[in-house]
Amino acid sequence: MNVAVFGSGRGSNFQAILAAKKGGRLDEVSISLVMSNNSGAGILEIARANAIPAFHVSQKQFPSEDHYADAVLELLQTHNVDAVVLAGFMKRVPAKVIAAYRGRIINIHPALLPKYGGSGMFGIHVHEAVLQAGDRESGATVHVVDELYDHGKILLQERVPVRADDTPETLAARVLTVEHRILPEALARLAARVHTGVKH
């Protein structure tokens, strides 16, 4: 299964996918390309260091969202991409891309969806909200991407305790270790489903 990874930041979740691949846990997955809206993103550097085609594609480069959507779709189709992983991608996936890859775009979110999801709930803001609410646990979620933020079918979740002395940063770090476990696992399960689908 050919996979495109979209990210906007340092790329630690992408690194976890590469480590899982090196560990033989993603033999059915080939990383075809990495795309970022941020030309300086660490995730693009990691791709280049691993000889994976790295593309800076941003809506700002296009006269309209529709031109941007067509460019993203063109990039995916010319690389025969079967599925997309959002690994810290801070932009909305265009509707026509979601439609073309229905059920085959997955996202990692640093909270126990459906709680603490939706617009504005990203990065450190998520952990601030969990602490503000006084929750005793948090965690990470891998879900299918649909037209609404953080809304699609939940594929995998893992919980972590919230400690009394937690700061948003210490909680974020604990959740991140879970993200690095469940995203590769969810990708392996998606590949197994897609390959099974191909066989029949």
**Contact assessment for residue 88 and residue 7, using Cβ atoms and an 8 Å cutoff:** yes
Q: Find the angle CA(110)-CA(113)-CA(114) to the nearest 5 degrees.
A: 150
DSSP state of 38: -
Q: Could you give the CA distance from residue 126 to residue 135 in angstroms, rounded to a whole number? A: 12
In 37-120, the DSSP E strands lie at 54-56, 83-86, 105-109
Q: Which two tokens stand for residue 45?
A: 């550097």
- Does position 108 interact with ligand GRF (CB under 6 A)? The reply is yes
Question: Interface residues for ligand GRF in 61-100 (CB under 6 A)?
Answer: 87-88
Smallest distance from ligand GRF to CB 40, Å: 13
Find the part of the chain contacting ligand GRF (CB under 6 A) among 11-19, 98-106, 161-169, 191-199. 11-19
Q: Could you give the CA distance from residue 85 to residue 47 in angstroms, rounded to a whole number? A: 14
DSSP state of 53: -
Q: Could you give the CA distance from residue 20 to residue 68 in angstroms, rounded to a whole number? A: 31
CB of 25 or CB of 62, closer to ligand GRF: 25
Among 1, 6, 13, 97, binds ligand GRF (CB under 6 A): 13
Residues in the interface with ligand GRF (CB under 6 A) total 14
- Does position 168 interact with ligand GRF (CB under 6 A)? The reply is no
- Does position 7 interact with ligand GRF (CB under 6 A)? The reply is yes
Among candidate residues 56, 67, 79, 109, the one labeled active-site is 109
Which string of x and - marks every residue 112-131 that binds ligand GRF (by CB under 6 A)?
-----------x--------
Smallest distance from ligand GRF to CB 124, Å: 9
| 109 has catalytic annotation | yes
